[in-house]
Amino acid sequence: MNSIFTPKQIAEQLNISTTTLRRYEELDLIPDVPRTISNRRYYTPTHVQAFATIRALIKGYDIPVAYEVMKKIKHGDIVEAIWLINQQLHDIHMEKQRVESILGMIQQTDFSKYKNNKITDAMTIGEVAKICGVNSSAIRHWEKEGLIRSERNIQNGYRIFTSHELRKIIVISSLRKTVYFIENMKQLLDDLDTRNLESVKISFQRALKKLNDQLTKQYEAIATMMKYIQMKHQKSIHNQ
């Protein structure tokens, strides 16, 4: 088995460019790269595993998170890197619970209360914003985009929202971080309008499947990362 690899060999193995390898190095994501007598870069098996870890991490995690984890590992902050990964696992678990709870909320027929808040058909934008935990400006933006509709109070001209529109706002606000899991948010909201709950259920099942797929990729990345950490540790012991 080779113990030295050229950038071209690694680039071909990982199906990326040598420029990308250089960028990872410049971003301080991999161990320091040694050079030959003729001043050419070469990589060891530990470097190869580092690159594989980066590629695995960015499939399951946001790129900034993946990069931060790699920086921590390089500088020996292994426990902090693992805790950062653990936080991401917690976050995706919370997203799954959120998707499931919103689906349950949509399906319930009695919508007179939500999170201990009394629901009416004449709620102000401030009341709705508080219930959903978002800024009033976000609600105005969603209305401008045609996702929701408000009525006007005939006495003062202020926006008022019905319980039906509140359901839609809850869906949007709760899924705004994972809206990319839904093929078409407007279609989902149209299905809510027409009470096409079977179609809504299918959309949420699709969202849950993508969350499941992401979770699988996260654990695959963890396996690759732990192998990298082990190789770094063994190399450190060997160099002592």
Domain extent listing, the chain: 7-90+215-239, 93-213
81 — pLDDT class (breaks 50, 70, 90): very high
pLDDT at position 238 over 80: no
pLDDT(51) > 90: yes
- Which conformational region is residue 27 in: left (phi greater than 0), alpha (psi within -120 to 50 degrees), or beta? alpha
pLDDT value for 198: 84
How confident is the model over 155-181, as a mean pLDDT? 80
User: Is 93-213 CATH 3.40.50.720?
Assistant: no
218, 86 in Cβ contact below 8 A?
no
Q: Higher pLDDT residue, 206 or 70?
A: 70
Average pLDDT, the chain: 88
At residue 210 the predicted structure's pLDDT band, cuts being 50, 70 and 90, is confident
Structure tokens at 17: 């460019």
CATH of domain 7-90+215-239: 1.10.1660.10
Q: Using DSSP, state whether 196 is helix, strand or coil.
A: coil
**Confidence class of residue 10 from pLDDT cuts 50, 70 and 90?**
very high
DSSP 181: G
Do residues 29 and 65 lie in contact, with contact meaning Cβ atoms separated by under 8 Å?
no
**192 touches 106 (CB < 8 A):** yes
pTM exceeding 0.95: no
Cα 43 from chain centre: 31
Tell whether the model's pLDDT for residue 44 goes beyond 90: yes
Neighbours of 88 (CB within 10 A): 20
Domains 7-90+215-239 and 93-213 share a fold: yes
Nearest to 172 by CA among 187, 160, 156, 189: 189
Q: What is residue 123's three-state secondary structure?
A: strand
Tens digit of each residue's pLDDT (9 = 90 or more) over 126-154: 999 999 889 999 999 999 888 899 998 88
Q: Within the chain, how many helices (H) and strands (E) appear? A: 10, 5
Structure confidence at residue 180 (pLDDT)? 52
Answer whether 219's CB lies under 8 Å from 86's CB.
no
Q: Record the tokens describing residue 94, joined without a space.
A: 């919370």
Token digits of residue 57: 């991490």
Q: What percent of the chain has pLDDT over 70?
A: 94
pLDDT value at 229 more than 90? yes
